[in-house]
Amino acid sequence: MSSSFIVGQIDWSPIVGRMRVKEGERLPSYPGDLKTALLDRAGLKDRAKAEEAYNLAREIARLTTYCDPEITYWFSRLVSLMDSQVSDREYKGEEKVVLSK
């Protein structure tokens, strides 16, 4: 993620800022339920596609470090993509679906 931690219109810094490297580990981790934190931050807690986006972010991250910062990075990109698809639909006059705050 960029140093500002803002992707689309969502500021991910409250989640990234809580990540810490635990003793004996080399990569930072989120001190709680990362999935819940990400879904809440994106305003997608009750959306089936959000669950799919989270699982896809984990699968992508599994290809490299499979750490919480990388899962957050990929989830933020997927949510941004989902939001842009909504904007495209609105532009074309299709049904409006709000995915995030």
Q: How far is CA 64 from CA 40, 43, 44, 58, 59, in A?
A: 25, 27, 26, 10, 10
> How far separated are the first and last CA of the chain, in Å rounded?
19
Rounded to two decimals, the pTM is 0.78
pLDDT digits (tens, 9 = 90+) for 34-93: 999 999 999 998 888 899 999 999 999 999 999 999 999 999 999 999 877 655 455 555
